[in-house]
Amino acid sequence: MKRILKVVLAAAGLVSGWLYSRGVTNPKDWPKRLPKEISALWDDLDEAMAAGRRAASEREREFDREIGRRPPTEHD
């Protein structure tokens, strides 16, 4: 039970610190801002993943150009 309590307190502390770092210094605003921050976080993660996929495809094309190899197709 104590362990669960510690984990919950640690999570709450982390969330509070994260919200504070995001500029929400007033604890009264935390319940309102937490869903927005989580949504923004997921949006940022989605954007980062999309940018990463674009960079990966571009790097793979450059790699194929460097070794003079045609890009693999579905038949390969």
Partner 1 sequence: MGSINWTDVLKGATAFFLVMAGIGTVYVCVRLGGLLARMAKTVGAMTDEVVPILTRAQTTVDGINLELVRVDDIMVTAVNATKGAEKTVSSISGAVTAPVRKASGLAAMAKEAFATFRTRRVAGPDEAEQAAAASVASHVHVEDVATEPSPEARAADEFRAAAGAAGERFRAAVADHKARADATVPATVVAPAPPPLREDPFAKHVAAPTDAPALDAQTVDSDEHTQEFPVTAGGGARRRGPSLSQISWALPKRSVR
Minimum distance of partner 1 from residue 46's CB (angstroms): 10
The answer to whether the Cα torsion of 34, 12, 24, 17 is positive or negative is negative
Q: Does 54 bind partner 1 (CB under 8 A)?
A: yes
Residue 6 binds to partner 1 (criterion: CB under 8 A): no
Which residues have C-beta within 8 Å of that of residue 16, sequence separation ≥ 6? 27, 30
Show contacts with partner 1 in window 34-53 (CB under 8 A).
40, 43-45, 47-49, 51-53
What's the CA dihedral at 20, 23, 26, 31 to 10 degrees?
A: -80
Binding site residues, partner 1, CB under 8 A: 40, 43-45, 47-49, 51-60, 63-64, 67, 69, 72, 76
